[in-house]
Amino acid sequence: MAATGHAKWTGDVESGQGEVDTGTKSLEGTYSAASRFGDGKGTNPEELIAAAHASCFSMALTLILGQAGANPESVETDASVYLRRTDSGFEIHKIALSTVGTVPDLSAEDFQKHAETAKQHCPVSVALAGGPEITLEARLA
């Protein structure tokens, strides 16, 4: 199974613009240097990574909770992807996950344990392993 994405950049880096979409076209948008490094309109690669990581993590945690017999009513995750300038360019150096679960009859300690397992095993976390630091804050609603 392969998921697809497409991007096209037109113009130079400073004043050009890109268009990005998923293979299903369920997500389409534009991106530019201004939307990546400033407050310009549009998305950016880091925002797309954040959305992918948050959605993957939420699904993985829901699966893990269900397998443990603790069926959640909901799992909401925010992901923040941090980009910094280095001597050789730019790097993503950290991803911070923050998740809140509504899970009846589950202790905060067990929720934290399951969230850590999800962080280690969700496919996006695995794909990013060896790259940026990934932190997690997990709490019950």
CATH at 133: 3.30.300.20
For the chain, how many structural domains are there in total?
2
Q: Are residues 89 and 116 both part of a single domain?
A: yes
- Measure the CA angle with vertex 8, ends 3 and 9; round to 5°: 140
Q: Are residues 25 and 88 both part of a single domain?
A: no
Q: Are residues 88 and 124 both part of a single domain?
A: yes
CA 69 to chain centre: 26
Domain of 33 in residue numbering reads as: 5-37
- Distance between CA 7 and CA 63 in Å, rounded? 31
Q: Are residues 29 and 58 both part of a single domain?
A: no
- Which H/E stretch holds residue 51? helix 45-67
Confidence of residue 3 (pLDDT cuts 50, 70, 90): confident
Residue 110 scores a pLDDT above 80: yes
Q: Are residues 25 and 60 both part of a single domain?
A: no
Beta carbons of 60 and 77 less than 8 angstroms apart? no
Amino acid at 26: S
**In this predicted structure, what is the pLDDT of residue 8?**
92
Rounded to two decimals, the pTM is 0.90
